[in-house]
Amino acid sequence: MPPAHPFDDDKLKEECGIFGVVGVTDAANFVALGLHALQHRGQEAGGIVSHDSDQGFNSARRFGYVRDNFTSQSLMQTLPGPIAIGHVRYSTAGSKGPTQIRDVQPFFGEFSMGGAAIAHNGNITNADALRRELIERGSIFQSSSDSECIIHLMARSLQRNIPERMEDALRRVEGAFSVVAMTRTKLIGVRDPLGVRPLVLGKVADGWALSSETCGLDIIGAEYVREIEPGEMVVITAEKGVESLRPFRPQKSRFCIFEHVYFSRPDSIIGNRSVYETRRQIGVELAREAPVEADLVCPVPDSGTPAAIGFAHESGIPYGMGIVRNQYMGRTFIEPTEQIRNMGVRLKLNVNRALIRGKRVILVDDSVVRGTTSRKIKEMILDAGAAEVHFRIASPPTAWPCFYGVDTPQREKLLAATMSEDEMRDHLQVDSLRFISLDGLYRAVGEAEGRNPRQPQYCDACFSGEYPVEPADQIQKGFKLKTAAE
């Protein structure tokens, strides 16, 4: 599967997708399909754990795409049983060193009352402190993953069953987490009290499914039931169905607003809203906030497409595919010579010259992170004979790193951390550059009054610098929170 965006090195990247099924024959096959639908959330590696009453727990963890590993009959035969969970992960290489297969989830732990496997999406903001404490008390870590802390905390809990041990463990964990876990008979789903990362529940035949997004339910023919609510734990068995628990102190939800802008698939539903429709509406808001005289609205494919459609509709300026993506340009392409490597984005995108020549072009993209690719795209459009280039960006300036399960460059590398909008326009050498406002983005996701500054309805820390959970480990490492003057 090609990456979700052709410029993977200049985009924020979701780090994980999780999926689980109980109550169906050969559950692992359903999980493989679900993970395939969630591949945009992590392309580096994937894993599945299943349980069968004869064979006990089985697991397979592999580097690479789901379709290249979990379609092999010989592998899938090693994962029998009516319950299974799985995980896809994005590489965090560079920020945490190269991934080893032992870092690939789900993680498994054997407890006195039986085994349990867990798959985690998000980031534990006090993981360093927890890991230090656990190691001092005798825990032996197998991986470099923060998520393994949950297994060790469960091992130390004195509760008598696995769901209660998980509650105990997750009460110690700070940050963002959606978790899918399993015992021999129970499928468990949990969202952190703020509900930063997504998790949805579906019904499939006589069984149940949990998925990061609804597109994972669609692929297995499951009916979407509802979202797991922030702070909710569901314990699901084939016989008794879904039991809902509330292990955490209730808090106001702070779902990741960037899921609407970029991470989730456009065919997913979030908060009863179509992601595609929200993105189209972002384009509408952007056209209202930042109109410009031009001849053509072009998306930067593929993630800028719905916003470009909305922009064109609202502005009345014709929409056109001014940039065409090479669908077969995967990340494994070997660029044989320095000369070809330097061609950079031209390997991935081509300009539709006949459409662009002589036109004043509005380019709609989902975000600007480092700005390196925006500049290259602008050059390609001008080389093709465009008269003017105007950038319109479907998210506010990304000026702060995310510490909740999204890989972001260090703050200094974010263009918006060091430059104003006008400075970025000059840096990119374009005729105009405008980002949607934070209020405009909130309106597009359905908050008619915009952002409530006293109690923001979403997590928007990467735009606002207001972190709903203090990133304790990062502060310890020297990260500076926003000051009152900023």
CB of 27 to ligand SF4, least distance (A): 30
What are the helix (H) ranges across 79-232? 127-136, 148-156, 162-172, 214-219
Q: Which stretch binds ligand SF4 (CB under 6 A): 129-137, 255-263, 386-394, 440-448?
A: 255-263
Among 19, 90, 391, 404, which residue interacts with ligand SF4 (rule: CB under 6 A)?
404
Q: Would you state the torsion angle of the CA atoms of residues 65, 66, 72, 76, taken in this order, to the nearest 10 degrees?
A: 150
286 is a site residue for ligand SF4 (CB under 6 A)? no
CB of 282 to ligand SF4, least distance (A): 14
402 is a site residue for ligand SF4 (CB under 6 A)? yes
Of 70 and 404, which CB lies nearer to ligand SF4 in the complex structure?
404
Of 27 and 472, which CB lies nearer to ligand SF4 in the complex structure?
472
d(CA 215, CA 217): 5
State whether the Cα torsion 303-192-186-148 is positive or negative: positive
Burial (CB count within 10 angstroms: exposed 0-12, middle 13-18, buried 19+), residue 10: buried
CA distances from 281 to 254, 268, 435 (A): 21, 15, 14
Q: Which of 16, 215, 256, 298 is catalytic?
A: 16
196 is a site residue for ligand SF4 (CB under 6 A)? yes
308 is a site residue for ligand SF4 (CB under 6 A)? no
261 is a site residue for ligand SF4 (CB under 6 A)? no
CB 43 within 8 A of CB 148: no
CB 86 within 8 A of CB 59: no
Q: Which H or E run contains 14?
A: strand 13-14
76 is a site residue for ligand SF4 (CB under 6 A)? no
300 is a site residue for ligand SF4 (CB under 6 A)? no
CB of 184 to ligand SF4, least distance (A): 34
CB of 258 to ligand SF4, least distance (A): 4
428 is a site residue for ligand SF4 (CB under 6 A)? no
Of 40 and 390, which CB lies nearer to ligand SF4 in the complex structure?
40
Q: Which stretch binds ligand SF4 (CB under 6 A): 286-294, 401-409, 437-445, 469-477?
A: 401-409
Contact track, ligand SF4, 211-250, x by CB under 6 A: ----------------------------------------
Of 116 and 257, which CB lies nearer to ligand SF4 in the complex structure?
257
Of 37 and 196, which CB lies nearer to ligand SF4 in the complex structure?
196
DSSP state of 185: S
d(CA 12, CA 23): 36
Of 30 and 403, which CB lies nearer to ligand SF4 in the complex structure?
403
Peptide bond into 146 cis (omega under 30): no
d(CA 253, CA 391): 32
Q: What are phi and psi of 31, to 5 degrees?
A: -65, -40
CB of 43 to ligand SF4, least distance (A): 18
| Strands in 139-290 per DSSP E | 175-182, 187-191, 200-204, 207-211, 223-227, 233-237, 241-245, 255-256, 269-270, 273-274
- Is 402 a known active-site residue? no
What type of residue sits at position 274? S
399 is a site residue for ligand SF4 (CB under 6 A)? no
Nearest Cα to Cα of residue 350 among 323, 371, 387, 384: 323
169 is a site residue for ligand SF4 (CB under 6 A)? no
258 is a site residue for ligand SF4 (CB under 6 A)? yes
Contact track, ligand SF4, 338-377, x by CB under 6 A: ----------------------------------------
Which residues have C-beta within 8 Å of that of residue 125, sequence separation ≥ 6? 174, 175, 176, 403, 404, 469, 470, 471, 472, 473, 474
Of 218 and 259, which CB lies nearer to ligand SF4 in the complex structure?
259
256 is a site residue for ligand SF4 (CB under 6 A)? yes
Of 208 and 403, which CB lies nearer to ligand SF4 in the complex structure?
403
461 is a site residue for ligand SF4 (CB under 6 A)? yes
Among 15, 52, 285, 460, which residue interacts with ligand SF4 (rule: CB under 6 A)?
460
CB 87 within 8 A of CB 147: no
257 is a site residue for ligand SF4 (CB under 6 A)? yes
SS (H, E, C) 326-366: CCCCCCCCCCCCHHHHCCHHHHCEEECHHHHCCCEEEEEEC
Count of residues touching ligand SF4 (by CB under 6 A): 11
Of 91 and 315, which CB lies nearer to ligand SF4 in the complex structure?
91
DSSP state of 197: S
Among 66, 309, 406, 433, which residue interacts with ligand SF4 (rule: CB under 6 A)?
406
Nearest Cα to Cα of residue 42 among 10, 94, 89: 89
Which residues have C-beta within 8 Å of that of residue 166, sequence separation ≥ 6? 116, 118, 150, 154, 179, 181, 188, 190, 233
Q: Where on the chain is the footprint of ligand SF4 (CB under 6 A)?
A: 196, 256-258, 402, 404, 406, 459-462
Residues with active-site annotation = 16
